[in-house]
Amino acid sequence: MTTVYVIEGRRVTGPGGFWRAVGEAVNGPGGYFGENRDAFADCLSGGFGTPEDGDFVLEWRDHDVSRRALGPAFFDELVDIIDERAPGALRLR
């Protein structure tokens, strides 16, 4: 069964807010799932809260709000990292 992690895009007010939102989506309150691009990419490879078999989805709700807060370039970079490390795992809502 696929595990779905929900990133609440309205909570993303900048890079720090993104790292907190994704960390808590995957690992609960105060959870860690990277705090920079490289660590985030490593975490997406499994073993940091996501299933080892890669059977998970990151559902990014209100991603348009996050995109504005992060800036298009950084947002697009995060999407590219997810697509590269966890192909097919991203759902933008």
CATH number at residue 60: 3.30.370.10
User: What does the pLDDT read at residue 34?
Assistant: 93
Domain region containing 15:
3-92
User: What does the pLDDT read at residue 85?
Assistant: 94
Question: At 92, is the pLDDT very low, low, confident or very high (cuts 50, 70, 90)?
Answer: very high
- CA 62/CA 92 separation, integer angstroms: 8
Structure confidence by residue, pLDDT tens digits, 27-46: 999 999 999 999 999 999 87
pTM (2 decimals)? 0.93
Structure confidence by residue, pLDDT tens digits, 54-89: 899 999 999 999 999 999 999 999 999 999 999 999
Provide the number of structural domains found in the chain.
1
- CA 65/CA 52 separation, integer angstroms: 30
